[in-house]
Structure 1
Amino acid sequence: MKSILVFLLGLLLFSCKQPLNKLKMNTTIVIAHRGASGYLPEHTMEAKAMAFEMNADYIEQDLVLSKDDVPIVIHDIYLDDVTDVAIKFPERKRKDNRFYVIDFAFNELQTLKVTERFNPKTGEQVYPNRFPKGKGNFKLHSLSEEIEFIQGLNTSTGKNIGIYPEIKDPEFHKKEGKNLTEIVLKILDKYGYKTKKDNCILQCFDAYELERIRKELKSELFLVQLIEFPEEVKQLTHFATYANGIGPWYKQILDKKVNGKFTFSTLVTDAHKLGLKVHPYTFRADALDEFSSFEEMMQTLFIDANIDGAFTDFPDLVVNYLNSRN
């Protein structure tokens, strides 16, 4: 199967001109988590094309540097859970038996085949009912390539879909002698993403780094502080001194379920009082946990909890749900 066929199929679906989407900072937004990753291998151009056709408001780019300082769009610093690197370059693993993006030049990374996420120890696909592991001809690409792709589609379709890049593991990059953040900011600036008015939201889990982006590097972009650990929830007042929003794990918004109805923590209301938008992660129709259905998950978080947007592997389902309520 040729990956270009998937591209063309996606392009045909939106061949008719669509009306221009205005910036949606003040309305509920849908963020395509690693693209339409519920349907195609994460962070591939094909997954981004599908997310674009599904009218997500923003498309996410996780960013890691190559050996020759090219920001690569991939979920984390490792290669061996989404590519065939262990087969093509078995001698390049580190002492921990992992293969790192930073150990490969961009031209080497382009030779790898990307597949659906799997456990590198067992080989088992993480989400078994998604795109079959090992099928297709998907490749890695750079941040610049993805920006040009999205901006090109915005031009040719009349849409205005934004980007939502993440600085991944900045401390790891610094220990490797790399300046990931500065390189990414230069590329964003080059393509016209400079201020909060531009259709770009920049995110990071590292609070020190995100604060540095605002205060030391003087970025005027819309910044979102990602939250992973419970103790970070107590730092909202500090986050509000440099960030415009937070991206918590959705379970940090939930409290408990009583008589079939969820109660909530004060996270969303506390954030809103500080002027912070709330974009939780990750809405997955095939990993519902405490919810009886995806509809219940969307109702609970979007309507009952009053979030401002969400990361989702299934952007079409969330877009359709929100549109049905308008």
Structure 2
Amino acid sequence: MHTRCRTPERRRRPDRPAACAMLLALFASSAAFADDAAMSAADRHRPSDPPGQHGLIVIAHRGASGYRPEHTLEAYRLAIRQGADFIEPDLVATKDGVLVARHENEISGTTDVASHPEFASRRTTKTIDGVAMTGWFTEDFTLAELKTLRAKERIPAIRPDNTRFDGMYSVPTLVEVIELAKRESRNGRRIGIYPETKHPTYFAREGRRIDGKPIGVSLGAKLVETLVQQRFTDPRRVYIQSFEFENLVELKKKLMPAAGIDLPLVQLYDDFQGATPYDITYNLAHGADLSAVYGGLVQQAGGIDAATRYGAFTSEPVLAWMKANYASGVGPWKGNLLPRQTLQAPVDANGDGKAELAGQGTGLVHPMLAWALKAGLQVHPYTLRAEEVYLAQTPGGVPQSVVAEAVQLYGLGVQGFFIDQPDQGVLAREVFLEINRQRER
């Protein structure tokens, strides 16, 4: 379909007709913008303090991970230049207790560690949150050793263009990520960070290094310590997130008060029906007093046992209790928030000869969204991605771009989302705000 609307990278004025906005929402390509276009998007980004526009934020999922290997300084830098408000470092610990940005503490999929013969003997098998993994683990490397490795694309079959950057970037520390956010905050614009503590129960209580010694690192305590040391404690510029419950409660009740700070906490949700928060699994197995650990959450959820799944924490009473006691927001998986069904046969929606679009929206919205908003919680779903394999059709059978998906989420009331292509999220916000402006005229 052809339209006379200017494409985003060529547009000179911030406003556009509503018809163009709607067309962009429905038909914007899910392909990535070129690097030059991404840079021009940064030039257009309007300053804001705190991050976001009109209460709406764009969160760069592991940086601009659709364009660069994830969790690298270059991925974060590009995300900022594309207009992201927050950059997201997933945090794990090194042998010497330094927080670094990796999606997992097992690093064979995201670094070139396998090509380093000096580290061959550190390949081992560990059980992380009940799942056996074989590879190399950050807790078995000092920071100096980890810095000799180079990042690589985690999903090369889906993002082959990113492989040209393999071997170019090191593993960043949390301090380096904060320093980048500080440097890039200028001309009235303030960049925030959105760190996630990865496997906090494992690092603090269950995990062992390759020599058999307990790791014994509190990711929450290290995070608070680093933020304070770096003087990066503005609650408008930091969200802390976790899939576990106990470490967020500990942050709220103990760690942050002891440090004299108060930052917004976001409770992440894995699959509502298929997953149990690992801290609950661990505490049940070790006979912990759940009421002492979780307080009134146990009662609000109707009790907690081995059969408890994330879905037990999506009810209106639970969400209200979370808001009153520790959480400022929730981060559900978009597939739970907006359920999809599988198509009988995949569709080639982008015409590249590969039928990769395999889902269709049902038109349903999980009631958790309305209950969370009613409780005053921020709602930041994850993860939006532009590649066809991650997209779906509308209930009416129209292929939906990632821009249209993001506009839909904004329209449902979410205040932000995690996205691998931040420029697409920024465009979606512009489209959504323009549609609203046109409606108000």
TM-score normalised by the shorter chain: which range applies?
0.7 to 0.9
What is the CA–CA distance in structure 1 between the aligned matches of 2:68 and 2:374, rounded to whole Å?
38
Residue number among 199, 218, 231 corresponding to 2:237 in the alignment = 199
Equivalent residues of 2:329, 2:379 under 8 A apart: yes
Name the structure 2 match of 1:272.
Answer: 373
Q: Check conservation: 1:11, 1:49, Cα contact below 8 A.
A: no
List gaps (5 residues or longer) in structure 2.
1-35, 127-133, 207-214, 273-308, 314-318, 342-359, 394-398, 434-441
Does the C-alpha gap of structure 1 residues 226 and 18 become closer, same or farther in structure 2, counting only changes over 3 Å? closer
Cα-to-partner distance string for 1:147-181 (whole Å, 9 max, x where unaligned): 111101214x5421111111111111113211221
1:233 CA displacement: 3.7
For 1:299 and 1:134, how far apart are their aligned partners in 2? 31
For residue 35 of structure 1, what is the amino acid of its counterpart? G
> How much does 1:261 deviate?
6.6
Q: Pairwise mapping of residues 234-313 of structure 1 onto structure 2 (< 5 A)?
A: 234-235=312-313, 236-240=319-323, 241-255=325-339, 262-286=363-387, 287-291=389-393, 292-294=399-401, 295-303=403-411, 305-313=412-420
Consecutive aligned runs of 4 or more in structure 1 exceeding 3 Å deviation: 9-20, 133-136
The separation in 1 between residues aligned to 2:269 and 2:244, in whole angstroms, is 9
2: distance between equivalents of 1:15 and 1:275? 31
- Which of 140, 146, 163 in structure 2 is aligned with 1:103? 140
RMSD value, Cα: 2.6
Match of 2:106, as an amino acid? Y
Q: Which residue in the other structure is 1:227 paired with?
A: 269
State whether structure 2 residue 76 is matched by structure 1 residue 48.
yes
**Within 5 Å, which residues of 2 pair with 1:72-221?**
72-88=100-116, 89-96=119-126, 97-118=134-155, 125-132=156-163, 135-155=166-186, 157-174=187-204, 175=206, 176-194=215-233, 196=235, 198-217=236-255, 218=257, 219-221=261-263
Please name the residue that 1:315 is paired with: 422
- Please give the alpha-carbon distance, in whole angstroms, between the structure 1 residues aligned to 2:160 and 2:192: 29
Whether the 8 Å contact between 1:30 and 1:310 is mirrored in structure 2 is: yes
Give 2:249's aligned amino acid: E
How do 1:15-34 residues align onto structure 2 when only pairs under 5 Å count? 20-24=47-51, 27-34=55-62
Gaps of 5+ in 1: 1-8, 119-124
From the CA coordinates, give the structure whose radius of gyration is larger: 2
Distance 1:260 1:10 in 2: 31
Mapped partners of 2:143, 2:220: distance in 1 = 18
C-alpha distance 276-126 of structure 1, shift in aligned 2 (>3 A): farther
